Amino acid sequence: MKYNWIDEYLLGKKGVTKDFQSDWNWIRYKIGDKMFAAICLDDENNPHYITLKLEPLEGEFLRNQYEDIIPGYYMNKTHWNSIKADGEVPDSLIKNMLDKSYCLVLGGFSKKKQNEILESL
């Protein structure tokens, strides 16, 4: 995977945890109990896709701009997007997409829960 900075980048965000979902062969990044990003591994445990959540119109726009961004791999195709792990999407765009995914999922919690998460570290 050419985006080997993702793990450190995501774990540097407040309240983020990661786990391994063996049934899916995914490394999941979560806020509370909600996933906002994942690294989907292939049958040989190599990164295959980076999956994240975006506003539907933005996801559709980006999928039309980059052939390496596709509708969410095994996810809701409206809200989730996957990036080929060996693709040609610029690092800066992926960071921006990951930031937006984090904010979208964090924003889905109550204000009280958001404060708990942000103050947990």
State the pLDDT at residue 1.
Answer: 64
Contacts of 49 (CB under 8 A, 6+ apart): 39, 40, 70, 73, 82, 83, 84, 85
State the pLDDT at residue 25.
Answer: 94
Contacts of 86 (CB under 8 A, 6+ apart): 1, 2
pLDDT in tens, the chain (121 residues): 678 899 999 999 999 999 999 999 999 999 988 999 999 999 999 999 999 999 999 999 999 999 999 998 878 788 999 999 999 999 999 999 999 999 999 999 999 999 888 886 5
For the chain, how many residues are written? 121
Domains with residue ranges and CATH for the chain: 6-115 (3.90.1150.30)
Query: Can you tell me the distance from the alpha carbon of 29 to that of 47, in angstroms, rounded to the nearest whole number?
Result: 14
Q: Is 75 left (phi over 0), alpha (psi -120 to 50) or beta?
A: beta
State the pLDDT at residue 121.
Answer: 54
